[in-house]
Structure 1
């Protein structure tokens, strides 16, 4: 019976393709991983996403080594590390946005040419966004104008997280294509 096996034995079962081992790992450690993620991220949706990410990682390409510590320590360390990475990504994103806003020409103080150029760029961006499929527009607007996470968007639009990620990625790729002259 799988549930009576050690973590190392279960991990070997998982490596050999026995997906039931993943269920046992989740039963043993899912709540702990979720609570660590929730404590560090402060958001239930993000904690759920991270918990899912951790267990998917160990099922696909995790490299647990029993000699380095218990499975619990391995999972908690990975959860903590990935939560810190998410905080850094958010912080980096916020800094880029602030830098962009601080470096963009001011409507009030810019010269006539700056105002004309800014208006022209804004017009091109609005037109490019309008050319996207409606779902892509909504996801991008919610992400970049409303500041919602992909999990929050999925919840508000009542769609799977993977679909939100796909719409966002495809929307950004299409925008890049449509605005190629501004990117270069």
Structure 2
């Protein structure tokens, strides 16, 4: 596989790889390093890529595994929590503050989900993968993907409702 063919094959999903890494590692710098490391590994094994049905699914699985390895390593204790702020032009200051708070709260709620639910919600709701693709990446049943996604969304919805109602039932 030549460089131009490799780039045509793997570059279209570079942003998805980065977003998954950022969701798991939180730090932008760590996510950039993970993305770079993944692409280096893909380049080293470029001749084996034709053996895979979906190179994108393979890359996402590699990203997930690499991020888990990073989180398990001793260096993971140095990772710090960094949140990006959501901005929308043309809204009042109060509305922007409320939106930023809501986006930050959703990020925190997603971070508190179990690992599998966190990955599934990232892949389905943010990266927009199909259930079968997610099941293949995580090596689980598509029904289990649906159940985990449903539970994750329900947990986030309940926590958001609780937060917005200030704990009042």
Q: What is the TM-score normalised by the length of structure 1?
A: 0.40
Larger Rg: 1
Higher relative contact order (CA 8 A, sep 6+): 2
Q: TM-score, normalised by structure 2?
A: 0.43
